[in-house]
Chains A and B, each alone.
Chain A
Amino acid sequence: MTDAWFEATADLLYRTQQTRGDQLPVAVTAAMRRLGVRTTLFLVDQEQQMLRMLPQAGAAMVDPMPVEGTLAGRAFSVVETVIGRDGADWRLWVPLLDGTDRLGVMEIRPLEPAPPPHPEQCGRYELLANLIGHLTVIHLPHGDMLVQARRSRPMSVTSELLWRLLPPLTFTCQEMVISAVLEPCYEVGGDAFDYAVDGSLARMAILDATGHDLSAGVTCSVGLAAIRATRRDGGGLCAMGRAVDAAIASQFADARFATAVLAELDLASGRLRYVNAGHPPPLLIRDGKVVRTLDGGRRLPLGVADAGVDVAEELLQPGDRLLMYTDGVTEAHDSAGNVFGLDRLTDHAERNAAAGLPAPESLRRLSNAVRRHQYGELHDDATLLLMEWSSAAVERTLP
C-alpha cells in the first residue's frame, strides 16, 4: 500500500536526481503538492542573521526575514517547528537541517483550506525537511545559486578558501554535539576549526594563524591539511602537531605559525586528552558554570618545532561542555579600548548554558555579543567551538 507521504518522498528523490541547484525549490514544491501543501525554502545567510528565500520560478520573492523576532527565525534558532495562525489560515515553519547543521527553514502552507497539522504530521514534515536539507547540501557544489543565496555581500578570497575546507558548523551523534561559529564570515583571516568523530573517539581542533591576510589563510589551510593527513594515517595529537610544524617550516621561510588546541575525547569514558600550542586555554563548563580553564599540554605554536610536548588529560563528567575560542573573541574591543574579555565570555557561556539553548544557537548569540561589543565590525577573527558531552544537548539540536 502506498500513501501520500511515500509518494511525496519518492517523487522528491526522483525529481532531484537530475536537477540543478537553482531548480531545487521547484522540485521540492512539485513533490510536496502531493501532500496538499505549497512550500518555500529559506536559507540562513553566512552570518546567521537573516533567512533568505531561495528564488523559485512562478513564486514571488519574499523579503529576507531576520532570525531575531520572527516565527521563521524562532523555528531556525531553537530548532522547533513553529505554527503561525491568521484566522483559519495557518502556515508551518519547519527547521531545514542537514543532519543537525542548521541551513534555514521550510515554509509550508495548505493549497486548499485545511485544518492545521497535528503533531504526527508535523513530525513527518520535519523528516522530509531533513531529507530536503540533505538534498540541498548535495546540490551546493554543482552551481553557485544556492551559495549566492546565502550571501549578503561578497566574500574575500581568504574566506572563500577557508570555508571550503571547514566541516559543517554543527555535528551531532548520540553521545555529543560539536558546534562552531567563525566571524567575520565574509572576511575570515586565519582562523579555522576541525573535528572528526569515529567510534568512541571525538577529535577536535581550533587554529589561529599569524596575520589576517591571504597568507594567514594559506597557513591555516596547510595546518588543517597536515592535521587531517596525520589523523587519517592513525597519528595522535603530538604527531599531528609535528606534521604541522614540518609542513609550515618546509613551505614558508618567515617564521609564521598557528596557535591551536588539538583535543580528543573518549566518548565512552569521558577521558579528554589535549595539546595546547600557544592558544588561549579552553574553558570547562560543568553544571552551567565555568569551573576552570584547561591549562595543561602546553607547547610552542604549530610551525615552531617543540621537542618537549606533554599531552594533558582531564576526566569529563556527563553533561560537561568544553568551549574553545580564539583570541579575537576575548580581545574584541569597543572604541574606548575595553576588551570583550574572559569575564564576559564566561558570563555569556554560563547564561546560554542555563537557557538550555541548542549548541549552535548558543554560539550564534555569543558571536553576536562579541560583534555588538565591537559595534558590528570585527577586526580580528573570532572563532568559537563548543563540545557538549550530553544526551540532553543532543536532543536540543533536533526538532
Chain B
Amino acid sequence: MSRTPLDVTVTGDADGHTIVAPDGVLDFSSRHILQDRLTALLDEGHRYLILDLSGVPLCDSSGLSVFIQTHRRAHERGGWVRLAGARPIVRRVLEITNLDRMVAMYDTVSDARTADPAASGPAER
C-alpha cells in the first residue's frame, strides 16, 4: 500500500508543552505516521500535547481516531491534547463528528498554550 507523505515536526516550549505539527493529508494511509510519533512522545513522558493542524488540508475519520486515541492515552497519564489552527474543512469534520466536545480546539498554537487547563477536560467518560 502506498503511503501518503506526512511530515511531523516536534518542538517544545518553556512551559512544558510539546507542539506536534503534522504537514500533509491525515487519512487511513498516513494516520500511523502521526500516531506512532505521538505514542512515542507520550511514552517518553511528554504529557501536554498541542497538535498544530495548520498544515493539514484534509482529515478523514482515520485521522480523527488518532486524536481520540491520543486524547485517551494523554488523559490516562494525567495530561491532555489540544488541537490548534485547524483549517475550516478540518474544523468542520471535528464539529460534525462532535469530537470538538471531547478534544479542545483553539484558533492558534499560542491560544492553546495559554488556555485555562480546566478547558481540556474530557467529555468521554
Contacts and interface: CB of A to CB of B under 8 A. Distances in A.
B101 interface: yes
B57 to A, nearest CB: 11
Contact of A278 (B72, B97, B124): B97
Interface residues of B, number: 18
Interface stretch (A4-12, A104-112, A222-230, A303-311): A303-311
Chain A: number of interface residues, binned into ranges: 20 to 34
A254 interface: yes
Nearest to A308: B123
A215 to B, nearest CB: 10
B69 A254 contact: yes
Contacts of A257: 61, 64-65, 68
A304 B65 CA distance: 10
Interface string A278-297: 11100000000000000000
Closest 7 CB pairs of A and B: A278-B97, A255-B69, A255-B68, A307-B125, A255-B65, A210-B61, A278-B98
Interface of B: 28, 61-62, 64-66, 68-69, 72, 96-99, 101-102, 123-125
Interface of A: 208-213, 254-257, 259, 277-280, 298-301, 304-308, 327
Given A300-B99, A306-B101, A327-B96, 8 more contacts: A213-B28, A255-B65, A255-B69, A255-B72, A257-B61, A257-B64, A259-B61, A306-B98
30 contacts: A208-B61, A209-B61, A210-B61, A210-B62, A210-B64, A211-B28, A213-B28, A254-B69, A255-B66, A255-B69, A256-B65, A257-B64, A259-B97, A277-B98, A278-B97, A278-B98, A300-B97, A300-B98, A300-B101, A301-B64, A301-B98, A301-B99, A304-B99, A304-B124, A305-B124, A306-B98, A306-B123, A306-B124, A307-B125, A308-B123
